[in-house]
């Protein structure tokens, strides 16, 4: 019963804190995808995820929901993964986590939320031998950004509180 109550409270808070895609601050020279961009995997999997280019959660653990999104270059074919670390009374801190020159269509990529918990990493699953700076398991204390190639590889961008920035860990190949 206690778990159900906690889940209900979590869902209510999540609904109250959800920001519309149109409210996301996008850096100059970039834009959020439009209906015209909803092709390929974005169109195919839209029923499961209506905004596959957007994920919203408190990624840095400060109690304020943040925005992770795939933005398209206003000019050219480039696209990038950004995260806005939102603040209550000032503009967000905008971080670019990854960028592609357009070699991979943005519609091949998606975003989701990795909930707090313990996960086996790609090297922990045996996809390759772990390097000295890789770990077999990743323990998330706050939600992370699950950045994936549809039906293929994925990585988590997670907030390292000690270092004060995001780190990337491969979860599959």
Provide the pLDDT for residue 22.
57
Read off the pTM: 0.85
CA atoms of 33 and 31, how far apart (whole Å):
6
Contact 143, 128 (CB under 8 A): no
Contact 85, 115 (CB under 8 A): no
CA atoms of 85 and 68, how far apart (whole Å):
9
Provide the pLDDT for residue 173.
87
Contact 123, 131 (CB under 8 A): yes
138 token code pair: 């990743």
Provide the pLDDT for residue 23.
83
All residue ranges of the chain with pLDDT < 50 are 1-19
Region of residue 109 (left: phi > 0; alpha: psi -120 to 50; beta: else) = beta
CB atoms within 10 A of CB 11: 10
Alpha-carbon separation of residue 61 from 37, 55, 65, 86, 115 (angstroms)? 32, 15, 9, 11, 12
Provide the pLDDT for residue 86.
97
CA atoms of 16 and 64, how far apart (whole Å):
12
């Amino acid at each position: 019963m206690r778990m159900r109550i906690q889940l209900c409270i979590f869902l209510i808070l999540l609904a109250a804190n959800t920001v519309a895609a149109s409210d996301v601050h996008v850096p100059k020279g970039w834009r959020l995808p439009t209906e015209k961009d909803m092709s390929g995997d974005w169109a195919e999997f839209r029923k499961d995820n209506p905004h596959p280019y957007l994920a919203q959660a408190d990624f840095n653990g400060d109690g304020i929901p943040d925005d992770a999104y795939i933005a398209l270059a206003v000019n050219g074919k480039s696209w990038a993964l950004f995260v806005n670390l939102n603040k209550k009374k000032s503009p967000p801190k905008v971080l670019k986590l990854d960028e592609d020159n357009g070699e991979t269509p943005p519609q091949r990529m998606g975003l989701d939320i990795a909930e707090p918990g313990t996960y086996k990493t790609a090297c922990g699953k045996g996809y390759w031998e772990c390097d000295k700076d890789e770990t077999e398991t990743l323990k998330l204390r706050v939600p992370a950004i699950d950045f994936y190639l549809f039906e293929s590889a994925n990585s988590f961008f997670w907030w390292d509180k000690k270092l004060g920035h995001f780190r990337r860990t491969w979860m599959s190949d």
